Structure 1
Amino acid sequence: MELPSLKAERLYQKISTLVIALIKDGTFKQGQALPAERELAKQLGVGRSSVREALIALEIAGWVEIRTGTGVFVRQPDEVRIESALIDAEFSATDLLFARAVIEGEIAALAAKNGTEAQREDLARNIGMLEAQSVNNAAFLEEDKRFHLLISEMTGNAVLTEVMTVLWNKRYSPMFTHLETFYADEHIPVAMNADHRRIGEAILNRDARAAKNAMRAHLRNVHRRLFADAPDDVLPDNG
């Protein structure tokens, strides 16, 4: 007898699947506002960050509409674009930021030890270019990308640079970009550039431990911006 394969689901996927079932059985009716994130998290016994990711998945699929500052509303049945809400099933935004905190922390430490003088000069210039940006737009993202990739190049390890490129490109996933659209402040570069300055100064001072801790703190700050009430221990701490 051939048994059906079972598909592992992330918690946010299980939540979105449950919400779809409740929409289909009429518990949540079209045009109705879903309970607030905090209430959904309480009723389901899960964290708000998982609920937020579930709602983003449902928004991408067309099951709900997120109205910033108003709430999340059930869409008309003919607006559903994807029957399954298991959007971006390979990873969640929290998984991505966790992986980046683990890997980029070590990358920053190695960059502090191994970067050449020419690379240090490039990094100092890049920080200046970043600090000239105050709006979360394509120009800021391009300089932000250059910042993180340059640090990976400073390790002197081509594989780590390739890994960093893959991690960076995953931030363009539907899950991550929709989270930014609805929950990231337009002026987030101001706060992020304070982090970039601390990371850069630690690397330029050849302080590997401080560079690692500053990079991890930066990625925890990104997570806080996307998931305002998430606990601080979701991502790796300094060490």
Structure 2
Amino acid sequence: MNKELLHTKLVREIIALIASGTFSDGARLPAERQLCRQYNLSRGTVRQAFNDLEKLGVVKIRAGSGAYVQKISQKKLPTHLLPQNFENVSFSDIIYARKAIETAAITLACEKITDTHIQQLESLIKKMEQSKENLLNFFKYDMEFHQVILHASSNMPLITAFASIAEYHKYSQVFSSMHEEEVDFAIGYHKKMLTALKDRDIKNAAKAINKHLEHTEQAINNSDDEVISA
């Protein structure tokens, strides 16, 4: 992958985090050095991404201080960097699709999951627990958990479909205004999924993923401010 594609990918990732509420208006983005380590990018690539974000009006770079999120609404974010037809996709649409995809995937995973997959899921839950104060990392490990389950299903159409849904999910409001108790709820549901997968318990695995997603949707519907990671 060339340098241009790498910095464009980082621009999209940062816009997703702003759109989701992970970085609120006026928030300082992580330092260049931190982003270099986290995304395994060169300093020049990260700097180019910051410059592009400033040109787009997404951030304001302050010399010697860093890059700060501008006071813009999600609707004003550059549409050419958002998923296709994003403005026509509701959170309920995303949850409905995820239920269909992930219920099928976790059912297959109960039959095909390996010890390596189990170890990966256990490791990701530990990382989620250690990242309660760092939502950027928490969301990363959260989605990786679901991706492991998809790969454990060994069903390429489901894996591809989930990748598309995950892209929309990053830009949804589900990640904004998360509180510690909601993070704990999310971790609890992931532990239930892991237990069911270890037991090869299809019924409880499907129940856990559906309850998890239903709880997330209910939280969104109950309050614009109360949201839970999925």
TM range (shorter): 0.5 to 0.7
The reply on whether 1:203 has 2:197 as its aligned counterpart is yes
Within 5 Å, give how 1:16-165 maps onto structure 2: 60-61=74-75, 88-135=86-133, 137-165=135-163
**1:60 & 1:167 partners in 2: Cα distance?**
19
CA contact (8 A) 2:105 2:158 kept: yes
**1:172 & 1:180 partners in 2: Cα distance?**
8
**2:188 & 2:160 partners in 1: Cα distance?**
26
Q: Which residue number in structure 2 is paired with residue 168 of structure 1?
A: 166
**1:136 & 1:212 partners in 2: Cα distance?**
29
Q: Which structure would you say has the larger Rg?
A: 1
CA contact (8 A) 2:86 2:168 kept: no
Amino acid at match of 2:207: N
Report deviation, 1:187.
Answer: 4.8
Amino acid at match of 2:96: F
CA contact (8 A) 1:108 1:211 kept: yes
**1:127 & 1:201 partners in 2: Cα distance?**
12
CA contact (8 A) 2:189 2:208 kept: yes
Alignment partner for residue 191 of structure 1, among 174, 180, 185? Answer: 185
Per the alignment, do residues 146 and 61 of structure 1 end up closer, same or farther by CA in structure 2, a change over 3 Å counting? closer
TM-score (norm 2): 0.57
CA RMSD of aligned residues (A): 2.5
- 1:207-233 CA-to-partner distances (Å, cap 9, x unmatched) read 111111100000011112222279xxx
Give the SS at the match of 1:134: coil
Per the alignment, do residues 136 and 103 of structure 1 end up closer, same or farther by CA in structure 2, a change over 3 Å counting? farther
Report deviation, 1:88.
Answer: 3.3
CA contact (8 A) 2:109 2:150 kept: yes
CA contact (8 A) 1:97 1:219 kept: yes
TM-score (norm 1): 0.55
Unaligned runs of 5+ in 2: 1-72, 80-84, 225-230
Which is worse superposed, 185-194 or 160-169?
Answer: 185-194
Give the SS at the match of 2:86: coil
Task: After the TM superposition, list the runs of 4 or more consecutive aligned residues in structure 1 that deviate by more than 2 angstroms.
Answer: 59-62, 87-90, 183-188
Per the alignment, do residues 154 and 96 of structure 1 end up closer, same or farther by CA in structure 2, a change over 3 Å counting? same
Unaligned runs of 5+ in 1: 1-58, 63-80, 231-239
Amino acid at match of 2:167: N
Report deviation, 1:98.
Answer: 1.3
Q: Which residue number in structure 1 is paired with residue 214 of structure 2?
A: 220
**1:126 & 1:88 partners in 2: Cα distance?**
29
Select the structure that is richer in helix.
2
Amino acid at match of 1:101: K
